[in-house]
Structure 1
């Protein structure tokens, strides 16, 4: 039996499969043969999930079945960490595949049950819960938990870094979050399947998964296919994820979204990260570590082909930057700084955190890339979000489909051949207005790589192209930087009190563009509105 709220939408194939699901997990390996569909029978697939999402969306949101037993909800952070899946019980061990499936236990903050299924020989077979799948450490083993309880999510391991060793490659845990890593990576930022009202005037809504299906991989499977049924008060949805592990692990996502109501701020392909302190935020350091962040910048390729780099900051107040575009070619939250010495963290390994690059497939039309930066003084909380927001709200009850690819990257050097922003600093800062009501600030940008090493032989050929949407740039300086095989740019800007500006700068030699475009917003708030949100809107 399934969770209330989605049991109405099970296919008959899934209902029949329940009869064999207990035997399916008896050995913890899923080695028993599942029923073979009769000739001409329809195999479970993405269209089935879309149908469930459509039927679910035709009914009012039902929160039934979204609670867990008290003994699980009362688990603390430390007690929940005591509960671990028994790796010897991992599914698919006898399938001949390199993939292994490890469900997560419910409890603590993970209090919304999700029903897991394995699609075997075309049949969607529910995975029943049993305490025998887990080690409980110092936590008493719960009693009388139903096989239909569900799970918090799952992780999949494979031979990612060593042909003889199983390492996690992707996990789904919490709301609609998932994380993927490539070779040599440590988990850092997260991807989400959908975001609603991030940075809006009302509390953010978190869509969640009611059910997840994984196609059992075969001995020759290079990819892993996952389906998901999403629900929330405002929207339902169906998702398909095709995971391709490797040095640059990627996931191709197909999303079918069906709004129940009009959603003014809906985030497509949202990414969530953490930024506490970086080279430009020394005032946010809380201990000996020079930098603390999962990502250090937002990279974008616009529909017209321009490359833009926006350094991430830990702002003094909520900051929303919107980059208008049509049919974007890509965007992502990246961890460009890979030097261990810049972090000095032996546990978190921030230098090994991946960046996520989102590449839209097909035309996404008019919209904007939103970057939301939320103040924080704790590295335990994600405070950075980037997503695509369509210009017009999605039509109520109508299926809107978006397809894109997310890749986990160690470097952005392979994305384009131009020079990149390596560092970004703030120099002197005089936001308190002078006698003329103007604030002043200096910005310092290091450009490196690309073809800049060639131009170090004749630095005078390199020029700065700088602009500001408000105020003015009063002075520019460019210096050769042989140590970085590039150039250092200094911008002095002024801005009237109460205004916010978007600054941009790139390098060129005659008519040849040499670098991506650095961009940064800054403001000189009036004393009466200090701490109010900044919202910068730009158009590319």
Structure 2
């Protein structure tokens, strides 16, 4: 995967416009010729392209000179955006090309079944007289776009809630009004010998007609291995909900086809932090993978920054949901002005039956927060072969937590912390090669335990053995339903160990299943 994608995306987000710029008079957008448009037309175009040799887009040579500093001085004027006059559900602003986004994207307005391309025009932007952007040709195109907040809000010019920028990446804010992790249209051959491929959204069609207040965005995907036709129905609620419908047309065999991929950053947390690597207690956009299997089991997998690229597969059939979540919401756990405690969680809910396959979690070593090093995606069990047509529908919810359907009745306690330490007991000589695990659970049936009652612990490991010391207790902080269990693991060799733990009451699950991959050493 592109490890610097997170940094580049953050760097290209446009800053707030000064009042002087906002006061300028609108400039009419230049539009191309009208052409018929419908979702069926887009699907036919994607299928037609898949039957022909792949034609890669050429980067704009002049964009190479637009470095980070130069790009920051190029600002789009919101009043000059699409639907800024209120003719569409949300105003649309455009990202300018630059060194890190050199390929132009065609962006169209759709009205009454007709589309017209919005032509690049430097007059839509303010830039210094000596800006290298002035060397771009008239047909340069845009790097991407973002949806501004509703014009009913006074701050709509400076506040946006969805952005599409780079390859097939897009992201949205959550209910805490903060960007964080990203989604992608597709993920191809992540962490495979074949090498990862990054198809592009090459054309967008933004509909002026709202569907119950939702913004409707169509997109054409193109890459060496496949093409695709996408529709995004985007709703601005407490957070953001995006319904995705895609048709894929495969040009050639694909070793690892990643559906509904999410991409995030995890450097370290309270679980494992290298000594004195950073002054902050934790640094991550997401801290775990949440799963709801086809059979209704709920799992929580704390993320790792592993010593080598690691791919974990959670086999399933007709999954009900998965997401990269940010559960830790306490500022004191980060103490950073970039608001990691506000980063959104993103949760995917399949629509219809997806059959057999696996939710795969890819974790890549990183030594800094500038790198996206986590991918979660659905990988179908059936091999992806050239000539195939595949369709998928799903919903992505960007919020502080998973949607209600993912945590519905019966309510279970949730994992709230994973801690590691040396094995053995305090006051005794600590044995070598023994690792202590402490897992904290909160809520659910644990809040109703009678005084003096203890939940039962179920433990499982893939290799090694449990030490004699195991202990479960209520966390002594007076918070109802807050429990922790701790145990020792004895293991030899550097190979990873899979562990599972859950709490039971009366033979019934009282918590979700904690699933962790431990890397000895």
What is the CA distance between 1:87 and its match in structure 2?
1.5
* CA deviation after TM superposition for structure 1 residue 399, in Å: 1.2
Match of 2:473 among 475, 479, 491: 479
Provide the C-alpha distance between the structure 2 equivalents of 1:514 and 1:467, rounded to a whole number of angstroms. Answer: 17
Match of 2:39 among 46, 67, 71: 46
> In structure 1, how many angstroms separate the alpha carbons of the residues matched to 2:282 and 2:181?
16
Structure 2 counterparts to residues 288-303 of structure 1, below 5 A: 288-303=279-294
Q: Which residue of 1 aligns with 2:54?
A: 61
Q: Does the 8 Å contact 2:29/2:118 carry over to 1?
A: no
Instruction: Give 1:357's match in structure 2, choosing from 347, 359, 380.
Output: 347
Sort the Cα spacing of 1:171 and 1:105 in 2 relative to 1 into closer, same or farther, 3 A: same
Residues in 2 aligned to 1:176 and 1:197: alpha-carbon distance in whole angstroms: 15
Instruction: Say whether the 8 Å CA contact 1:34–1:120 is kept in structure 2.
Output: no
Give the deviation of 1:144 after TM superposition: 6.0
The answer to whether structure 1 residue 426 and structure 2 residue 417 are counterparts is no
CA gap 1:378/1:506 in 2 versus in 1, 3 angstroms: same
1:398 Cα deviation (Å)? 2.0
Q: Please name the residue that 1:383 is paired with.
A: 373
Match of 2:6 in 1: none
After TM superposition, give the deviation of residue 284 of structure 1 in Å.
6.6
**Is 2:494 aligned against 1:494?**
no
Change (3 A) 1:284 1:361: farther
Q: 1:152 to 1:197 in 2, by over 3 A?
A: same
Q: 2:506 maps to which residue?
A: 510
> 1:30 offset after TM fit, Å?
6.2
Q: Look up the match of 2:113.
A: 122
TM-score between both structures, scaled by the size of structure 2: 0.87
2:458 to 451, 454, 465: 465
The alpha-carbon deviation at position 96 of structure 1 amounts to 4.7
Check conservation: 1:29, 1:93, Cα contact below 8 A: no
Partner SS state of residue 451, structure 1: helix
Corresponding position of 2:19: none
Question: Which residue of the partner structure matches residue 441 of structure 1?
Answer: 435
**Taking structure 1 as the reference length, what is the TM-score of the superposition?**
0.84
Q: Secondary structure at the residue paired with 1:402?
A: strand
Alpha carbons 1:116, 1:213 under 8 Å: kept? yes
- Measured in 2, the distance between the counterparts of 1:464 and 1:405 equals 34
User: Please, which of 234, 254, 260 is the counterpart of residue 251 of structure 2?
Assistant: 260
User: Given the alignment of the two structures, is residue 402 of structure 1 paired with residue 392 of structure 2, yes or no?
Assistant: yes
Task: Report 1:216-365 matches (<5 A).
Answer: 216-217=208-209, 221-283=212-274, 286-346=277-337, 348-365=338-355
CA contact (8 A) 1:131 1:141 kept: no
Quote the residue 1:150 is aligned against: 141
How far 1:499 moved relative to its partner?
3.9
Counterpart Cα distance in 2 of 1:317 and 1:379: 17
Cα distance in 2 for partners of 1:445, 1:106 equals 47
**1:201 and 1:285, CA in 2 relative to 1: closer, same or farther beyond 3 A?**
farther
Quote the residue 2:13 is aligned against. Answer: none
Relative to 1, partners in 2 of residues 1:31 and 1:78: Cα closer, same or farther, differing over 3 Å?
Answer: closer
Confirm or deny: 8 A CA contact 1:31 1:92 kept in the other structure: no
Q: Distance between the aligned counterparts of 1:385 and 1:103, measured in 2?
A: 27
Deviations along 1:275-334, one digit per CA (max 9) or x if unpaired, are 111111221763321111100000000010000000012112222111111110000000
Shift of residue 228, structure 1, vs aligned partner = 0.8
Number of residues of Structure 1 aligned to a counterpart in Structure 2:
481
State the secondary structure of the residue aligned to 2:179: coil
1:366 maps to which residue? 356
Change (3 A) 1:286 1:217: farther
For 1:103, the equivalent position in structure 2 comes to: 94
Query: Is the alpha carbon distance of 1:285 and 1:329 closer, same or farther for their aligned partners in structure 2, counting shifts above 3 Å?
Result: farther
2:444 to 446, 450, 471: 450
CA distance in 1, matches of 2:280, 2:45: 49
Instruction: Give distance in 1, aligned partners of 2:353 and 2:491.
Output: 38
- Whole-Å separation in 1 of the counterparts to 2:246 and 2:276: 39
Corresponding residue for residue 515 of structure 2: 519
Residue 223 (structure 2) pairs with residue 208 (structure 1)? no
In structure 2, C-alpha distance between the alignment counterparts of 1:277 and 1:374, rounded to whole Å? 13
**Do the aligned residues in 1 keep the contact of 2:31 with 2:116 (CA within 8 Å)?**
no
Q: For structure 2, which runs of at least 5 residues remain unmatched after alignment?
A: 1-24, 425-431
Structure 1 CA distance for aligned equivalents of residues 73 and 30 of structure 2: 28
Distance in structure 2 (CA, Å) of the matches to 1:372 and 1:400: 23
- Deviation of residue 77 (structure 1)? 1.6
Corresponding position: 1:168 with 2:164: no
Deviation digits for residues 26-78 of structure 1, max 9, x if unmatched?
A: 9546699997x9xxxxx622211111111111111112x421032x1122222
How many Å apart are 1:97 and its aligned residue?
4.4
The reply on whether 1:392 has 2:385 as its aligned counterpart is: no
User: In the alignment, is the contact (CA less than 8 A) between 2:308 and 2:365 conserved in 1?
Assistant: yes
1:481 CA displacement: 1.2
Q: Per-residue deviation at 1:171?
A: 0.5
* Structure 1: distance between partners of 2:357 and 2:275: 33
Distance apart, 1:216 and its partner CA? 1.1
Does residue 170 of structure 2 align to residue 178 of structure 1?
Answer: yes
